[in-house]
Amino acid sequence: MRIIGGKYRGRTLAAFKGKEIRPTADRVKEALFNILAPDISCATVLDVFCGSGGVGLEALSRGADFVVFNDVSADSLAVLRKNLAPLGAAPPVKVYNLDFRTLLDRVDMRFDIIYIDPPYREDFAEEALAKIAARALLNTGGVAVVESDKPFTAQFGSLVRYDERRYGRVYLTFYSPE
């Protein structure tokens, strides 16, 4: 795993060991950020299930102003902190160690980009999107992206599904506020 573009381009990221871990592949990350390129500069980003932080770190590298990282796993956050350390003086981030439900109930800001990549074996994406819609956590023109291993067709009152892309076994589904 590495940072693909921006000011930290080429940095190798610390990774997990184990069979249960599934970081976002570089190919998928590159495609995602090519799609989001016009929206990254000066963006506020929320990575709901951050793991080792690859997506949020890519956003920082490409010009995001602020990234909120969250994961329920303390082990994930330990790897994230290893990946943040080489970035020097305190990067513009906030790190939470909360269940995603608690985070989405408590967070007190709105975001330009929200990335939702829960464990594939769990069905957390719909619940996360419902909370994001109910709390209006996306700014006007913002985008929520769900990464999953199958097409994701859920609809939410105030969030409109406007695109879905497939990269091998991975699907990226895009939502924006009405």
The answer as to whether 8 is a domain residue is no
Domain that includes residue 75, residue range = 34-177
The answer as to whether 7 is a domain residue is no
- pTM equals 0.94
Q: Bigger pLDDT: 158 or 17? A: 158
Q: What is the mean pLDDT of the chain?
A: 91
Q: Any bridge partners for residue 170, and if so which?
A: 167
The answer as to whether 114 is a domain residue is yes
The answer as to whether 3 is a domain residue is no
The answer as to whether 84 is a domain residue is yes
The answer as to whether 115 is a domain residue is yes
Q: What is the pLDDT of residues 78-136, one digit of tens each?
A: 999 999 988 876 679 999 999 999 999 999 999 999 999 998 788 899 999 999 999 99
Cα-Cα-Cα-Cα torsion 22, 27, 28, 29, nearest 10 degrees, comes to 90
- Residue 40 scores a pLDDT above 90: yes
CATH number at residue 40: 3.40.50.150
The answer as to whether 9 is a domain residue is no
DSSP H or E segment with residue 163? strand 159-167
The answer as to whether 22 is a domain residue is no
Looking at the 3D structure of the chain, how many domains does it have?
1
Q: What is the pLDDT of residues 137-161, one digit of tens each?
A: 999 999 999 999 999 888 887 899 9
